[in-house]
A and B are shown apart, each in its own frame.
Chain A
Amino acid sequence: MKRLTIALIGGLLSLNAFAGNVANGEALTKKYNCAACHGADFKSPIDPSYPKLAGQHEEYLAHALTAYKRGDAANGRANPIMGGQVAALSNQDIKDIAAYLHSLPGSLVVKR
């Protein structure tokens, strides 16, 4: 039993703490029609007031989606459009979408 417990803990630790499913994320972005605003390649939004998402950090994207879901509450983002888009998403949906968007080739950079 002890050995099994150790094995289980080891297995949990080896899992990516942040495990999004890219394929399911792609399906979800199609279902919710994210590309209609953020662009077919997710780096060419249809309006400059919308962000480029392709290649953005996975955990940040998940944080942002979660914040939109919280809405006008602590650590939230009050945004009518995105609030409506994310309302039906589960936490796993959010992780999957974040994983997919992060996996796409993007044009964002980190520079001073």
Chain B
Amino acid sequence: MLAGLANVAFAADVVGNAAKAKVEMCIGCHGIPGYKASFPEVYPVPMLGGQNAKYIENALHAYKKGERKHPSMRGIAVPLSDQEIADVAAYYSQQTK
């Protein structure tokens, strides 16, 4: 139980290389200015840099659980662990202008 709590406490702390590795899956869309999603609707993908980490985490968990139905993001989020989701969220939240 205590070990579990300790892991939770670390959830958003690990940012470095793990996050860098995982955002390889994000940058193909979210790292390109003006990039548009094309399926099932056409619109520019959201800017993630500087967004609240907790919000990004919740969004990825919602895609993973299927509360958000977007097919592409679901495919991205399903294989991510809680730790990877926290890392990706922390990575983007720390970007500034």
Q: Chain A interface (Cβ within 8 Å of chain B)? A: 45, 47-52, 55-57, 59-60, 62-64, 67, 72-79, 107-112
Contacts and interface: CB of A to CB of B under 8 A. Distances in A.
B38 interface: no
Nearest to A50: B55
Interface residues of B, number: 30
Contact of A75 (B32, B45, B69, B95): B69
Q: Is the interface of A mostly helix, strand, loop or mixed?
A: loop
Interface in B49-68: 49-55, 58, 62, 67-68
A106 B20 CA distance: 25
Contacts of A77: 62, 67-69
Contact of A109 (B40, B45, B54, B96): B96
A69 to B, nearest CB: 13
A23 to B, nearest CB: 23
A109 B95 CA distance: 7
Contact of B52 (A45, A59, A63, A76): A45
Interface of B: 23, 27, 30-33, 40-41, 43-55, 58, 62, 67-70, 95-97
B69 to A, nearest CB: 5
Given A73-B69, A75-B41, A110-B31, A49 B96 contact: no
Contacts of B69: 67, 73-77
Nearest to A68: B68
Given A76-B69, A77-B67, A110-B30, A59 B55 contact: no
29 contacts: A45-B52, A45-B55, A47-B54, A48-B52, A49-B55, A49-B58, A51-B51, A52-B52, A56-B46, A57-B46, A60-B44, A60-B46, A64-B46, A74-B40, A74-B69, A75-B40, A75-B69, A75-B70, A77-B62, A77-B68, A108-B47, A108-B48, A108-B49, A108-B51, A110-B32, A110-B47, A110-B48, A111-B31, A112-B23
